[in-house]
């Protein structure tokens, strides 16, 4: 008996030691991922980028408790292509999404190619629960809707914009739409069902975001919270307008109120993460889909250009990230990053394997200093219909622009680190010019033409597709 005890005790100790060793090697729980995407926000219209006009304490928390990107970019200067790049982690010109999709529910080509995976597709294979909230704008055809693109839940609308007051949502289903912008008046969808929402749109989206976290905090989740604010139409409730009583009545006042509503929602979401004790292991990313629009009085200072432009004001956006488990508070990162990096970062820490090569990279090791150098040797943008493109390589930015009136091309060069407002057009040596041009040529050879007519071709599309608005109820 004693012999058995002498043999058994070391064996038990060995098993316990082995178990503890295995346990120590277990990876941490996969991080939750929340992307808060706003629409047409001006570069300077958040506190962490210097706004003194719009208090954004909750949005600023993301930057102050994590990292602010001073050179944060998106892949396009308008919303549809930009979202296609973000949601796939690949340049949208690789798969023909180089135009803003039209409202065309009968057309399976009007939106994100079915050959592409979304971040929800990839994370879903690793057990993530996912929700898309708010603006979709990646296709209205039944095969292109969120629940068919990897998302478990959807609450929002399919088109590129929406009215904000429930009393203006007068269309019960898409069969009642007779022209593009009428889709702004549809009732909201919860998954595949129309609902009778009673709250101001921004508040409703915030409520649903908080609900989702409340119900799914035990397992890893991905949230794509795509507010349409402050995109037109400019509409705000008295609650938010009263915060700007000192301002003159007009577009800027309403715009500020709309941004303030988003900030409240971000605050509620961050509070829920704290309440559920999952904030430390949740990656929260905040950015705009493109630059601010002058039509809604967005403030893009100190950048040149705005929404639709390939100057910095069209593609450089407010961009911040928080992940307390990995990123120290109050960091500022000055190297260029891009919305493509969101998916690459998320899938890396989820140990997920996309089926296609991503154009983004995991930026966290660069932020922490575990990797040296810059995440991207160069970044490129193409505006196919304007016959214009641009490349940023290091501090140098090269723009190749087409003037429609003169039907001539010209080149511009800026050091955007020293000249963020792109005021001083530099003269480069032919060797330097050639290097930048080759960088673009190398990239564009991998791209394809847009696969569908876009918003700029609305009338032409309707002539070619007379059944455009003849759709079954949904």
Asked if pLDDT for residue 21 goes beyond 60, the answer is no
Q: Which residue has the higher pLDDT, 195 or 25?
A: 195
β-pairing, 319-322 with 67-69? antiparallel
Q: Is residue 15 part of a domain?
A: no
Give the integer Cα–Cα distance in Å for 131 and 35: 11
28 band by pLDDT with thresholds 50, 70 and 90:
low
Residue with tokens 């715009």: 255
Q: Is residue 350 part of a domain?
A: yes
Domain boundary among 350, 376, 402: 376
Angle (nearest 5°) at CA 54 between 52 and 58 = 110
- Give the CATH number for residue 431: 3.30.1120
Residues 372 and 390 occupy one common structural domain: no
Residues 394 and 360 occupy one common structural domain: no
Q: Is residue 321 part of a domain?
A: yes
Asked if pLDDT for residue 303 goes beyond 50, the answer is yes
Mean pLDDT of the chain: 94
Asked if pLDDT for residue 87 goes beyond 60, the answer is yes
Number of domains observed in the structure of the chain: 2
According to the model, what pLDDT value does residue 14 have? 45
Q: Is residue 353 part of a domain?
A: yes
pLDDT over 90, % of the chain? 93
Residues 74 and 113 occupy one common structural domain: yes
Asked if pLDDT for residue 1 goes beyond 50, the answer is no
Residues 232 and 289 occupy one common structural domain: yes
Rounded average pLDDT over 138-153: 98
pLDDT, one tens digit per residue, over 399-448 is 999 999 999 999 999 999 999 999 999 999 999 999 999 999 999 999 99
- Smallest CA-to-CA distance from 245 within 231, 267, 230, 260 is with 260
Helix axis angle, 340-349 to 79-88, nearest 10°: 20
Residues 341 and 425 occupy one common structural domain: no
Q: Is residue 285 part of a domain?
A: yes
Domain boundary among 339, 355, 376: 376
Rounded average pLDDT over 250-265: 98
pLDDT, one tens digit per residue, over 155-207 is 999 999 999 999 999 999 999 999 998 999 999 999 999 999 999 999 999 99
Give the integer Cα–Cα distance in Å for 178 and 105: 12
Q: Is residue 3 part of a domain?
A: no
Asked if pLDDT for residue 104 goes beyond 50, the answer is yes
Residues 276 and 418 occupy one common structural domain: no
Please give the residue range of the domain that contains residue 36.
32-376
Residues 311 and 402 occupy one common structural domain: no
Give the integer Cα–Cα distance in Å for 137 and 144: 10
Q: Is residue 198 part of a domain?
A: yes
Rounded average pLDDT over 256-273: 98
According to the model, what pLDDT value does residue 24 have? 36
280 band by pLDDT with thresholds 50, 70 and 90:
very high
- Give the CATH number for residue 283: 3.40.720.10
For 319, counting Cβ atoms within 10 Å of its Cβ (0-12 exposed, 13-18 middle, 19+ buried), the class is: buried
According to the model, what pLDDT value does residue 23 have? 37
- Smallest CA-to-CA distance from 76 within 381, 305, 333 is with 381
According to the model, what pLDDT value does residue 25 have? 35
Residues 115 and 194 occupy one common structural domain: yes
Asked if pLDDT for residue 4 goes beyond 70, the answer is no
**Cβ pair 156, 133 in contact under 8 A:** yes
């Amino acid at each position: 008996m004693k012999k058995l005890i002498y043999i058994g005790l070391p064996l038990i100790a060995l098993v316990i030691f082995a178990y503890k060793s295995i346990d120590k090697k277990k990876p941490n729980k996969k991080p939750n991922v929340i992307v808060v995407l706003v629409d047409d926000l001006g570069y300077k219209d958040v506190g962490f980028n210097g706004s003194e006009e719009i208090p954004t304490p909750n949005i600023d928390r993301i930057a102050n408790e994590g990292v602010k990107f001073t050179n944060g970019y998106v892949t396009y200067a308008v919303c549809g292509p930009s979202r296609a790049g973000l949601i796939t982690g690949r340049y949208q010109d690789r798969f023909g999404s180089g135009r803003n999709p039209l409202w065309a529910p009968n057309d399976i080509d009007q939106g994100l190619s079915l050959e592409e995976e979304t971040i929800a597709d990839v994370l879903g294979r690793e057990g993530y629960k996912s929700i898309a909230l708010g603006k979709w704008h990646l296709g209205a055809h039944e095969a292109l809707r969120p629940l068919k693109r990897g998302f478990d839940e959807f609450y929002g609308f399919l088109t590129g914009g929406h009215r904000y007051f429930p009393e203006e949502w007068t269309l019960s289903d898409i069969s009642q739409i007779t022209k593009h912008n009428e889709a702004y008046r549809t009732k909201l969808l919860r998954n595949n069902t129309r609902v009778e929402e009673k709250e101001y749109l921004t508040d409703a989206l915030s409520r649903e975001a908080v609900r989702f976290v409340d119900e799914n905090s035990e397992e890893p989740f991905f949230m794509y919270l795509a507010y349409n604010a402050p995109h037109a139409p400019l509409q705000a409730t008295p609650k938010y307008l009263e915060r700007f009583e000192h301002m003159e009545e007009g577009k800027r006042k309403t715009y500020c109120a709309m941004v303030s509503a988003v900030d409240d929602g971000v605050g509620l979401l961050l509070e829920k993460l704290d309440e559920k004790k999952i904030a430390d292991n949740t990656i929260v990313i905040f950015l705009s889909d493109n630059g601010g629009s002058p039509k809604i009085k967005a403030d893009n200072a100190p950048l040149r250009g705005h929404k639709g432009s390939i100057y910095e004001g069209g593609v450089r956006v407010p961009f911040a990230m928080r992940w307390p488990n990995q990123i120290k508070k109050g960091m500022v990162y000055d190297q260029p990053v891009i919305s493509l990096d969101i998916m690459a970062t998320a899938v890396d820490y989820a140990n997920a394997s996309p089926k296609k090569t991503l154009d983004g990279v995991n930026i966290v090791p660069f932020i922490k200093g575990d990797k040296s150098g810059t995440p991207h040797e160069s970044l490129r943008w193409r505006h196919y219909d304007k016959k214009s493109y641009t490349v940023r390589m290091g501090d140098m930015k090269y723009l190749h622009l087409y003037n429609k009136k003169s039907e001539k091309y010209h080149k511009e060069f800026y050091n955007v680190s020293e000249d963020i407002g792109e005021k001083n057009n530099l003269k480069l040596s032919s060797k330097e010019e050639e290097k930048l041009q080759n960088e673009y040529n190398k990239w564009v050879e991998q791209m394809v033409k847009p696969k569908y007519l876009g918003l700029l071709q609305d009338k032409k599309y309707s002539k070619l597709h007379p059944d455009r608005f003849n759709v079954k109820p949904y």
